[in-house]
Chain A
Amino acid sequence: MVRQPQSWAPSLFFPLLLAAVYSSQFSKAVNLPDFPYPDISFLDFILPACVIQGVLFGSTNSATDLAGDIENSFMDRLLSSPVSRPSILVARLASAFVYGLFQATILITIFYIFGADLAGGVPSALALMFITSLLSMAVGSFLIAVALRTGSQEVVNSLFPLIFVFIFISSAFFPVELMEGWYGAIAKWNPLTWVIDWTRGLTVEGFSWANFIKAVGIVTAIAVIGVTIAIGQLKKRLAAAS
């Protein structure tokens, strides 16, 4: 990882750039009527979204590695060894989680240095780290399913813009209450909006078990669907291999 800065540097750089730019460009947006949190800075508002964005950008790595293993048939060698089948999947998911944790910690620390204010203090920060890492794993499981299905790094990488689309058409950078028409409707039903809103509740209003459980619940639901699909694809690949 240390030797390949191009694989993780952008996923730290872009969230920080966006956070820096948006917090000064839209600093007055909190004064708009209907803005849900009129008393906070715009940086505090987008903080959870920027952390999530950074972590999701990084979530492709684990799936890309897996696709790479399939491409250069390292996977075949692994399957012919007595490595237990589920551990192949578990290792990838765990790596996505740990990687997310690592990124979230760095991003939160940087935001803290630049004056972000976490209303809930340490519990909120820990909750944010946990939720984003779990989300990284959940989204990672979908990408891993794609990697297992196609075995192509190129295909996995081409899904990257899709993540960007999901983040943008959500409450990540602006409250959905202030969006209009069909765009606002899509954003409202984007599951990422729910995750972000509840997480934002934790960082802006202070730690609350209700918000935490709701956020973890929805992310877990996403993860369960993703992991189920991934297991299905792994079984298919195993069946094809034997």
Chain B
Amino acid sequence: MTNSYTVKGHSFLVGQAFVGRGLMRMRRLPSLMLPTIVMPIFFVVAFSGSFASVVALEGYGTDKAVNWMTAWAVLQGAAFSGLGGGGLTATDIENGFFDRLRTAPINPSVLLTGLVGYSICRAVIPTTAVLIVSFCFLGAEMPGGGLGFIMVYISAIGMAAFMSFFVLGIVFIFKSIKSLAIAQIVMFSTMFLSVGQAPLEAIEGWLNGVAEVNPISHVIRMCRQGFLGEVTWQQTQPGLIAMLCLIAGTAIWARICYRKVDI
């Protein structure tokens, strides 16, 4: 009587189902989506407006603030989207839906991948929105061409992935929606302590040292390179390495924290 169905690609289908469920919820509850689109658009408008003249300083390598700030806004949006998988899980844990998922015979790694996949899909939306605003209304330029755009999307996806793994870990530990606030504070701090808004040459004091060793700085540079000039392997490689290490590290962290919610 036992029905141990074995479907080819079960893991893939489960991952797909999680992504689908997340996107469907977003469609039905637009208030979930609004902040993740509006905030990064506001960021790019505000940062390139407020700090319009700052690019005249040494090290920025562009004469338009929007060229510098678009990547920063995209990655902020991607980090916000990274909260998505964590937010969904925190809600599920609080209302008990997570127990239903746990009684299903699925591998925790598959579950985590599905949730992160949802965050990644989410990240594409604000990224595109910011690019549209930057290029259509703020006069951004992309000397790096198509490759530059590819770099933007790769870094945004990477950023969403490791932020999402990180947030999931926090959610598994605290098992509450409130814990998202903690995750946000950590997220924001690590992002701000980087070359997000100013190049290393312009940063003075302790922050210079911190921004230099902050792996997120490499990801930001990879994302930004096409706006400032040619896309080069020299700038791409450290970004990719940092990104992959962050994804691997946070994935392990999330998997370890998962033990807090399952036997």
A13 at the interface (CB under 8 A from B): yes
Tell me the A166-207 residues at the B interface (CB within 8 Å). Answer: 168-169, 173-174, 178-180, 183-184, 187
A164 and B46 CA atoms in complex are apart in Å by 10
Chain B contacts for A18, CB-based, 8 A: 192
Q: Are B202 and A26 in contact (CB under 8 A)?
A: yes
B181 at the interface (CB under 8 A from A): yes
Query: What distance in Å separates the Cβ of A68 from its nearest Cβ neighbour in chain B?
Result: 17
B42 at the interface (CB under 8 A from A): yes
Q: Which of B12-20, B49-57, B75-83 contacts A (4 or more CB under 8 A)?
A: B49-57
Query: What distance in Å separates the Cβ of A127 from its nearest Cβ neighbour in chain B?
Result: 25
A27 at the interface (CB under 8 A from B): yes
Tell me the B35-83 residues at the A interface (CB within 8 Å). Answer: 35, 38-39, 42, 45-46, 49-54, 56-58
Main secondary structure on A side of the interface with B? helix
- The chain B residue sitting closest to A41, CB to CB, is B204
Partner of B46, one of A21, A168, A184: A168
Q: Are A179 and B53 in contact (CB under 8 A)?
A: yes
Partner of A32, one of B35, B53, B192, B204: B53
Q: Are A6 and B181 in contact (CB under 8 A)?
A: yes
What bracket does the count of chain B residues touching chain A fall in?
Answer: 20 to 34
A34 and B54 CA atoms in complex are apart in Å by 12
What bracket does the count of chain A residues touching chain B fall in?
Answer: 20 to 34
A7 and B185 CA atoms in complex are apart in Å by 13
Q: Are A180 and B203 in contact (CB under 8 A)?
A: no
Chain B contacts for A28, CB-based, 8 A: 57-58, 202, 204
Q: List 25 A-B contacts (CB under 8 A).
A: A6-B178, A13-B185, A20-B207, A25-B197, A25-B207, A26-B51, A26-B198, A27-B202, A28-B58, A28-B204, A29-B54, A31-B57, A32-B53, A34-B53, A164-B42, A165-B42, A168-B50, A169-B46, A169-B50, A173-B50, A179-B49, A180-B52, A183-B45, A187-B49, A187-B50
Give 7 A-B pairs besides A161-B38, A179-B49 with Cβ atoms closer than 8 angstroms. A24-B205, A26-B51, A26-B198, A31-B57, A169-B49, A173-B51, A178-B54
